[in-house]
Chains A and B, each alone.
Chain A
Amino acid sequence: MATYSTNEFKSGLKIMLDGDPYAIVENEFVKPGKGQAFNRVRVRNLKSGRVIERTFKSGDSVEGADVLDIDMQYLYCDGEFWHFMNPTSFEQLAADATAVGDNARWLKENDLCQLTLWNGVPLSVLPPNFIIARITETDPGLKGDTSGGGGKPATLETGAVVRVPLFVQTDEVIKVDTRTGEYVSRVKE
């Protein structure tokens, strides 16, 4: 794997620290008037998501991390692994619960997700910004309600529970923003 000099540091660069892959969030060159120059960086651990601060001597080199973002189609879950397919090469990959995490509740078959691979193994799975899914269960609401009210919980076919307006019923299909977990609209089939 390539090494990167602190001169090449920029946000988004993937580097190895203490055996874990990290992405640089922010890079700042600092130098006291007449002293050692440092690169002070904020880095995000790509396994845990935790952001920490690290300091490097300017001019030093750091090992790069073999990390790659790739769009893959979600196929199915076998109870232990979530299976994805590369839509151009048809190559398949399995992501474990650590990589999928809470995002499992947004995974709908055939949707394109962004997988972050480290040494070819999925580190994290990002669902599409919006998904369209059927409501499998929600309390019957009152007729004539507008979408401005308090709403009620609804369970989606993917497993996620979102707040929907009272007029939305079981078996209806809705659009949801996975970044906020918020209801966007009803979708006509």
Chain B
Amino acid sequence: MLEVDTPALSRAAVTDPALASFAVDWHGPEPGRLWLQTSPEYAMKRLLAAGSGPIWQLAKVFRDGEAGRRHNPEFSLLEWYRPGFDHHALMDEVIDLVSELLAGRRALAEPERIRYQDAFLQHAGVDPFAADVPALRVACTRHALVPPPGMPEAQVEPWLDLLLSHVIEPRLGCGRLSFLYDYPPAQAALACIRRDETPAVGSRFELYLDGVELANGFHELGDAGEQRARFEADNRARVRAALPVMPVDEALLAALASGLPACAGVALGFDRLLMLAANAGGLDAVLAFPVDRA
């Protein structure tokens, strides 16, 4: 596998409404606004489309507004792509890598793979694909979970996020690696959607250990038209939420149009892995200077 190094600054940025990019002013030729990457995904996909074959990098990434015990606005992602893999084959490889890195530091039970739907049924007692808002409200009440003021309560998505982050995530990865996979299509992000399944699912996975999200992976979406439609839907959601509209990455869309090899990719939070390997409770134990002291 080839190690690559892609730019942290770009003229385009991620459109996902849940991710906030840092903006910087560029004063050289063609001056204007540049963005710090929230992950090296777009640039790495351009390399894949150009025929790089399997690639990896350890990249500094930046996310505005994220600070806490397990969040720092600047952190390191270990990101890699495997042509020919689907998300299940990539989960196997993630298990091999993380098990090797934690060997001798953590005793781990057999890894678990649980579908998003089954995790909700098992831990929150509600079907995320079938439940309406009243049913989700009942599930929250059962777990003494009060929706935050100002949450758009008429939509299903915020309720799912609330249950996922407060009820389900803390119950994942207890002494073992847990993969949550096959997400609702609305949460597919950059994963392809399998419409042959009932219900249709996004071929995405997340890895948890000790209730901490460690990695996010996709069986990658290669369809340029669908990718553009998702970027535009993201930007419409941004307008509704009074968030800035982000410049869509035309270079990525052109690369997808020229042909992305079927592949799977994953981004692993390297600082969090160090934190768990060190049995530390927070990132401040593994960062030289967290943001409040940077």
Contact = CB atoms under 8 A, between A and B. Distances in A.
A35 B69 contact: no
B71 A31 contact: yes
Contacts of A53: 144
Given A28-B69, A34-B19, A37-B65, A60 B148 contact: yes
A136 B275 CA distance: 58
B65 A34 contact: no
Interface of B: 16, 18-19, 65-71, 144-151, 157-158, 160-162, 164-166, 169, 187, 189, 206, 213, 216
A11 to B, nearest CB: 12
Contacts of B146: 54-55
Contacts of B71: 29, 31
B62 to A, nearest CB: 15
A74 B65 CA distance: 46
Nearest to A57: B148
B166 A35 contact: no
19 contacts: A29-B66, A32-B165, A32-B169, A34-B16, A34-B18, A35-B18, A35-B161, A35-B165, A36-B157, A37-B65, A38-B166, A40-B166, A54-B148, A55-B145, A56-B148, A57-B148, A58-B65, A59-B65, A60-B148
Interface size on A, as a range, is 20 to 34
Contact of A38 (B144, B148, B189): B148
A33 B150 CA distance: 21
Given A30-B165, A36-B18, 13 more contacts: A29-B68, A29-B69, A29-B70, A33-B216, A34-B16, A35-B161, A38-B161, A38-B162, A38-B166, A55-B145, A55-B162, A58-B65, A60-B149
Given A29-B66, A29-B71, A34 B148 contact: no
B293 to A, nearest CB: 15
A31 B18 contact: yes
A7 interface: yes
B246 to A, nearest CB: 15
A57 B241 CA distance: 13
Contact of A35 (B144, B148, B151, B164): B164
Interface in A20-68: 27-38, 40, 53-60
Contacts of A28: 68-69
Interface of A: 7, 27-38, 40, 53-60
Contact of A56 (B16, B149, B166, B213): B149
A29 B67 contact: yes
Contacts of A30: 68, 165-166, 169
A58 B165 CA distance: 13
Given A37-B66, A38-B165, A55-B166, A32 B148 contact: no
Contacts of A32: 161, 164-165, 169, 213
B216 A34 contact: yes
Contacts of A27: 68
Contacts of B148: 38, 54-57, 60
B187 A31 contact: no
Contact of A34 (B158, B162, B187): B187
B255 to A, nearest CB: 22
A60 B213 CA distance: 24
Contacts of A59: 65
Contacts of A36: 18, 151, 157-158, 161-162, 165
Contacts of B187: 34-35
A36 B241 CA distance: 12
Contacts of B150: 57, 60
Nearest to A29: B68
Nearest to B208: A33
A73 B213 CA distance: 52
A32 B167 CA distance: 11
Contacts of B206: 33
Contacts of B149: 56-57, 60
A35 B169 CA distance: 13
A53 B162 CA distance: 14
A54 B67 CA distance: 19
A29 B66 CA distance: 8
Contacts of B68: 27-30
A163 B67 CA distance: 49
A33 B18 CA distance: 9
A45 to B, nearest CB: 14
A165 B14 CA distance: 71
